[in-house]
């Protein structure tokens, strides 16, 4: 793992719960719980969507890249970064930066759809595809779900089909530049077909499992599947 969990956040959700950071985090959680209770962002549209539709209902297009997190942005140097892939796999591994860079590298272009109602088109990501990672670890037949852990203590979950999609990757660069700390660098997950909270920043552990384990926002009123084109914002 990183050389000092006190610097990276380790398994903690944020850090000092009683200080200013904890107050900010509680306010954010309370606000998003309220959004879920109120159904904020839901368009109310019914009926089938046009096949050629690119912008999901209830979304607005932006050209910047907004920053959202739990109130802490862990600082992990590439030399300290590690990714553990474990659980229901034949070959559990812990990858350091050089190991990760030695895996087959791809560039993929995809759109971002955030549950807070913004979307951004044509994002170019460089990294390692989910397919390449699965080839390395060989999930067992009973693996049906994936739980993702971040260096700030954040978690989120995916069904195996959602993780093992042809546009999912572990990204270390965005628009040709190394992924910045605020956007999840050195490595984040990118899952284009789900709302962006499923694309965990600062990824440190991927756990394959027989059973589903809802993550941080999923247990706080957000949808377990999170398809933007079905407006699966909230449970």
User: Which residues of 54-168 form beta strands (DSSP E)?
Assistant: 60-61, 82-87, 93-96, 106-113, 118-129, 145-150, 155-159
Ordered domains of the chain (ranges, CATH):
57-64+75-230 (3.90.420.10)
Please write the tens of the pLDDT for every residue from 180-209. Answer: 999 999 999 999 999 999 999 999 999 999
Please write the tens of the pLDDT for every residue from 122-147. Answer: 999 999 999 999 999 999 999 999 99
Element (DSSP H or E) covering residue 135: helix 130-137
User: Taking a C-beta distance cutoff of 8 angstroms, is the pair 126, 171 a contact?
Assistant: yes
Q: Report the predicted TM-score, pTM, of the whole model to 2 decimal places.
A: 0.81
Give me the phi and psi of 228, to 5 degrees please: -60, -35
- pLDDT of 232: 97
Please write the tens of the pLDDT for every residue from 23-78. Answer: 445 655 676 666 666 666 666 665 555 556 899 999 999 999 999 877 789 999 99
């Amino acid at each position: 793992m990183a050389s000092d969990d006190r610097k990276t956040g380790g398994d903690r959700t944020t850090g000092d719960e009683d200080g200013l950071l904890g107050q900010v985090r509680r306010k954010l959680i309370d606000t998003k719980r309220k959004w879920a209770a109120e159904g904020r962002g839901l368009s109310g549209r019914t009926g089938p969507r046009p096949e050629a539709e690119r912008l999901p209902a209830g979304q607005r297009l932006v050209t910047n890249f907004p920053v959202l997190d739990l109130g802490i942005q862990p600082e992990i140097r590439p030399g300290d970064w590690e990714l553990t892939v474990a659980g229901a796999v034949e070959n559990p591994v812990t990858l350091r930066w050089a190991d990760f860079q030695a895996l087959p590298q791809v560039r993929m272009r995809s759109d971002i759809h955030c549950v807070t109602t913004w979307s951004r088109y044509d994002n170019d990501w460089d990294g390692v595809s989910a397919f390449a990672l699965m080839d390395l670890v060989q999930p067992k037949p009973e693996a049906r779900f994936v739980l993702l852990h971040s260096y700030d203590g954040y978690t989120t979950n995916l069904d195996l089909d959602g993780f093992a999609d042809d546009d999912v990757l572990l990204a270390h660069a965005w628009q040709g530049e190394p992924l910045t700390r605020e956007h999840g660098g050195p490595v984040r997950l990118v899952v284009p077909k789900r709302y962006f909270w499923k694309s965990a920043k600062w990824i440190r552990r991927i756990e394959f499992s027989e059973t589903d384990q809802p993550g941080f926002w999923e247990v706080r009123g957000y949808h377990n599947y999170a398809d933007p084109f079905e407006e699966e914002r909230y449970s």
